[in-house]
Amino acid sequence: MVGKTQEYVDTFQSSVEANVLWWGSESGTMHKELTIFVTTIKTRIRNSDEMSEVNSLRQCEVKMLFMVALVDACRRCGLGTPEFWAMYDLQIQGLSLHAEKVDICPPAFLSAHRGLRAIGEITDLQEWMRASSTKALSDGNVEDIAGEQERLWAEKFAVTLRINVAAERRSNLNVLFDLTSEVVLQDEC
């Protein structure tokens, strides 16, 4: 059981956004497969007399339920929807509540997308500029740093131009285009 769980975890963590089995049209199939395996683990926990086996199976169950929840949210709502991100956040928080550390983390592309989504929600310009810097994006597992910075800056510029109060709009533009700023952006090359 532990070995098969680790196989699932490895394929889950190495999956990419284009993987239809985990995140696309076949996620229903993966959801069913994972759910059946979780049921098998629960049965084994119920029938086990050894505490060490029960503890390792509980770890497996937590890992599998983490994957089931994310695949189910993708299957029902779609990858990247607000409902998906709500489930993602709940699952990440849930992992931190376990007494023993559970060794599973989401695929890198999900962590990167969640980080970019969080940057878009920042309202303080100085904080936003730090969060969109090359180092911050690199630390957040973003692959195309220059492309993401271009998208983030274009989005922030468009939002700033839509501000109705001229003084506030001018103030935000001054902060965004302050030439003495310490912001480091990625070169396209």
Residue 102: half-sphere exposure toward Cβ, Cα within 13 Å: 26
What sign has the CA pseudo-torsion 38, 44, 45, 50?
negative
Residue 180: half-sphere exposure toward Cβ, Cα within 13 Å: 1
Element counts in the chain: helices (H) and strands (E) = 10, 0
**Predicted pLDDT of residue 69:** 95
Distance in angstroms (rounded) separating the CA atoms of residues 170 and 161: 9
pTM over 0.85: no
In this predicted structure, the answer to whether residue 186 has a pLDDT above a threshold of 70 is no
**Length of the chain, in residues:** 189
- Answer for the pair 5, 64: CB distance below 8 angstroms, yes or no: yes
- Report the share of the chain in percent with pLDDT over 90: 42
Q: Which of 41-45, 116-120, 149-153 is modeled with the greatest confidence? A: 41-45
